[in-house]
A and B are shown apart, each in its own frame.
Chain A
């Protein structure tokens, strides 16, 4: 097992060699947001189907003795490809019936045979993020959930918690207000009027939003008031006064950063990495690694990670923590924009980085949006990308790190949208750009939609 694999198991279970059952239940925020007052939120059913197939990323966090449960069996040609790269693969279990709109955990809970099989394993359950559904799974299998309770996980993921914690620790963050009552939100709206009057914009965020959902950037009093009324109307209709929103100054940024640290059961904190995010319209598209940051910024983030990690440990949390941060155009740092006390997309890339990204090399993690007329097998995709796929340590090319998302949106008839996730690895950023352009062109030419 490699460095991060051992460190993660030590943090979650207490032993670096412990076997785990890994689940990639992405967008666990959807579970945390249940019962909360939200902004009107919409996501395409096809988008949900793709997110739920991010479960396949879990294969790349596993060691040989681990188990992974997936919604469908991985494409055999994709498995051969990963093996040829020299990756250790876990034992894969597949649910008997998957529903594209359900997370992998929800599928397992409806599969009694699989539940029985899992209950015989000598392993703890290690999940992407913990909600009550994952706690139900632990109870149904009798296996230990290698994580704090869903209550703790949800609490420390709230953007209200994050704002208050950053204030308490004296960490720089955009001006703003954390609101857990309608009265506080009304006061925050009055405060925001002042900002709007000076020509600035404000952003209202749901405490449990994810991937650009539950966020409204507001540039006029009319919209600020309308948004407040939407929330107030919902609160009055449902009679539950408890809300969770933050209202903040929308600060200018030079770059989005994401750093990760791991909090161990004993409260010790280890800094894992910092990456520069590539986002479009607030939606995460990928990362540059390593991030193009000064040593001073990296030192600052490492110090913040230590402060945040120790405080999270005091509040009962252990496990992976990803923090979103910003640099501003003047070169300053906002070290805490949001705390995600769960795995992040980047968590599933660490083992690949350790193996394929030697010193001085660079990688860009991204996804390619696809529109397909019919499902695409990995063997055909590999033929299409012949000469562009990474073939081993020291090489350059695209390392496909999830193939399930390509065909996740397939319907009985008609074209559908999918995503091909991968890491572009090379010696220089310029070489990455060349490979990226070649992959984009081949996909555009080779896939009739």
Chain B
């Protein structure tokens, strides 16, 4: 693996970990194991208010500010789709 690819993987892993830990704090109950395929709304039980808190927590954990106009519902389908969005927003 090249250095760039390794750096990208590390960054993505950090984002996925931040998403998982934010979800655990917001949903305040024992979650089924969170994977990149976990569906935020219908599997983990996130709701509209929770989405807003998730955004706030991710911004704080990763020290970024998202352009909320770029956010679409599809980004919140799964942990993977959200991680993809965050990667694209925080890319160099």
Contact = CB atoms under 8 A, between A and B. Distances in A.
Interface string B64-82: 0100110101001000000
Nearest to A46: B42
Interface stretch (A59-67, A154-162, A212-220, A352-360): A212-220
Interface stretch (A35-43, A116-124, A262-270): A35-43
B49 A42 contact: no
Interface in A273-325: 281-283
A199 B69 CA distance: 31
Given A40-B55, A223-B56, A226-B56, A211 B42 contact: no
B52 A283 contact: no
Given A40-B68, A283-B47, A371-B42, A45 B73 contact: yes
B27 to A, nearest CB: 9
A47 interface: yes
Contacts of A283: 47
A333 B51 CA distance: 30
Given A212-B49, A281-B47, A47 B56 contact: no
B6 interface: no
Interface in B2-49: 41-42, 47-49
B89 interface: no
Contacts of A45: 73
A42 B71 contact: yes
A41 B65 CA distance: 17
Contact of B73 (A42, A227, A237, A282): A42
A211 B59 CA distance: 25
Given A40-B71, A42-B76, A371-B42, A226 B59 contact: yes
A47 B52 CA distance: 17
A222 interface: yes
Contacts of A46: 41-42
Interface of A: 39-47, 211-217, 222-223, 226-227, 230, 234, 237, 281-283, 371, 417
